[in-house]
Amino acid sequence: MKSTPGVALRSQPMRPDAQLPGLETLLDISRVRSLLVPALHPRVEFMDGLITHVRYKPSTSALVAYRFAVLLPGKASPRPLHLYGKCYRKQDYGAAIGKLGTHRWVENFAMTPVLASREHAIIFYGFPNDRVLAGLRLLAPPSRLRRVLHEAFPELERSAWRISVRRLACEIVRYKPEKRAVVRVTSRAIARTTGTRRNVACYIKVYPREHGATVASQLQVLNAALWRGVPSVPRLLAVAGGGGAIALEEIDGRDLRAILREPSAERTVPDVAGALAALHTLPIETWPRSSIADALEMTAAGLRALVVAAPEIGPDLEAALARLRAATPGPPDTDSFVHGDFHPGQVLVRAAGIGVLDFDRAHCGDSCADLGNLAAHLHPAAPESPPGGVAWGARVVEAYEDARGARLDRGRLRFWTALALLRLAARPFRGLETHWWETSARLAAACWEVLG
């Protein structure tokens, strides 16, 4: 079998589920590849692949996303093929098959849009086909996407500018099937009269239709509140796909995760702290409220599948959650705007200040939640935590206190850090990372350690 540099097989055993006969097949890359071969277009070859996302509802359904490398006829280099499979209980499979005819599927460059395996009660969907994210159909054919770009960049009027279809490229940044997709889109615009060329780039985020309109309206509020650019946040450029897709400005800057591994990391402390302090002073009237009880329930929900999948670490996870419930502080003195998922991967260090990304979980609540989430991602138990991250994070907290003119309750901060560590424990399983159960166990132990 041919191999592709940088693409590795990842598959780990998990507890069988008697109600889902296709689960074992979904988690086996080789078996999935064999099932998909009949769906490939002529002379397309499968190469290596990996699992990118797992969503498991014990005894109900399981969804697994993949990225394969495929070689197209006459091409020397492989191309990524994204798809997902969903397995059902035998009694639910017929209804799922029946609903396939209610959707309008689009062509995939390498395979048929949809493939069903009755034997395993599995249905596979080739990207951009998705049961729920109808807005992904904007990506095919290219003429649809070109219309979105013209809408996102109104200065590129169709009468005066032509956006190149040949140079149109889509890079899948993040894809959680039936939940959310983030795609970077690039092309080139050419002035019809002068031939002037201009590169265009933006991000398209796709949601379930009812959620996309909500996100768009919230971003409009955010853009208006932060018009001075402190911090910078992506501007909403367009709403498309019947409200299920939005186009966002691409803002420049260096990923904070990379900078934290460099000697210059110390210089970022006041800017990062100041950016977060500025966010926490935003008006909260238009944002949904989320309480500490809501955060605990969300964490518990994220752990349920993990407890079933890895029963050997289940008691540790459940004990850590019980400890958190016992240590729950009272409500904050005042509600604040909360980013909801603030960590180094959401921060860009720019020539003029800080950029902050991804406000999908923004709400009003306890501002310590953001600082605790940041501290959890810097903890040595967290995957890819940088050397010296804990000390850097402590200095951010001090600079944040200076910016807000008030000292934080350290007990409250420890609670939110511990809660975020336990929430992180579910992520290695969702990506089926190598030795995911060991990483999850370390994060549960870190939760206990932080609580003291």
As a whole number of angstroms, the distance between CA 161 and CA 159 comes to 6
410 found inside a domain: yes
Last residue of a domain, one of 249, 265, 287: 249
369 found inside a domain: yes
10 found inside a domain: no
Task: Please tell me whether residues 160 and 294 are part of one structural domain.
Answer: no
**Beta-carbon count within 10 A of 20 CB:** 25
Q: Which amino acid is at 77?
A: S
Task: Please tell me whether residues 286 and 310 are part of one structural domain.
Answer: yes
The DSSP line for 172-232 is EEEEETTTEEEEEEEEEEEETTT--EEEEEEEEEE--HHHHHHHHHHHHHHHHHTTT-SSB
- pLDDT surpassing 80 at residue 202: yes
CATH number at residue 316: 3.90.1200.10
Task: Please tell me whether residues 358 and 446 are part of one structural domain.
Answer: yes
Tokens for 353, please give them. 């200040």
Task: Please tell me whether residues 117 and 154 are part of one structural domain.
Answer: no
As a whole number of angstroms, the distance between CA 452 and CA 447 comes to 9
Task: Please tell me whether residues 45 and 99 are part of one structural domain.
Answer: yes
Task: Please tell me whether residues 230 and 342 are part of one structural domain.
Answer: no
As a whole number of angstroms, the distance between CA 415 and CA 321 comes to 11
Q: What is the pLDDT of residue 8?
A: 35
Q: What is the pLDDT of residue 58?
A: 94
Task: Please tell me whether residues 279 and 403 are part of one structural domain.
Answer: yes
- Number of structural domains in the chain: 3
Residue range 254-271, pLDDT digits in tens: 999 999 999 999 999 999
Domain residue limits at 309: 254-451
As a whole number of angstroms, the distance between CA 156 and CA 189 comes to 8
> Residue 6: which pLDDT band, with cuts at 50, 70 and 90?
very low
Q: What is the pLDDT of residue 355?
A: 97
Tell me what percent of the residues of the chain surpass a pLDDT of 90.
Answer: 89
CATH number at residue 146: 3.30.200
Q: What is the pLDDT of residue 445?
A: 96
Task: Please tell me whether residues 234 and 279 are part of one structural domain.
Answer: no
Q: What is the pLDDT of residue 352?
A: 86
Task: Please tell me whether residues 74 and 125 are part of one structural domain.
Answer: yes
List of residues 6+ apart from 324 with CB closer than 8 A: 296, 299, 415, 418, 419, 422, 447, 451
Q: What b/e string do you get for 39-52 counting C-beta neighbours within 10 Å, with b at 16 or more? A: bbeeebbbbbbbbb
The helix (run of H) or strand (run of E) holding residue 67 is strand 61-71
Task: Please tell me whether residues 227 and 319 are part of one structural domain.
Answer: no
Last residue of a domain, one of 131, 147, 173: 131
Provide the 3-class DSSP secondary structure of residue 436: helix
Residue range 91-130, pLDDT digits in tens: 999 999 999 999 999 999 999 999 999 999 999 999 999 9
1 found inside a domain: no
Task: Please tell me whether residues 285 and 147 are part of one structural domain.
Answer: no
Cα–Cα nearest to 207, from 164, 250, 239: 239
332 found inside a domain: yes
- pLDDT surpassing 50 at residue 3: no
9 found inside a domain: no
Is 170:184 a contact under the CB 8 Å cutoff? yes
6 found inside a domain: no
Task: Please tell me whether residues 278 and 421 are part of one structural domain.
Answer: yes
Residue range 31-88, pLDDT digits in tens: 999 999 999 999 999 999 999 999 999 999 999 999 999 999 999 999 999 999 999 9
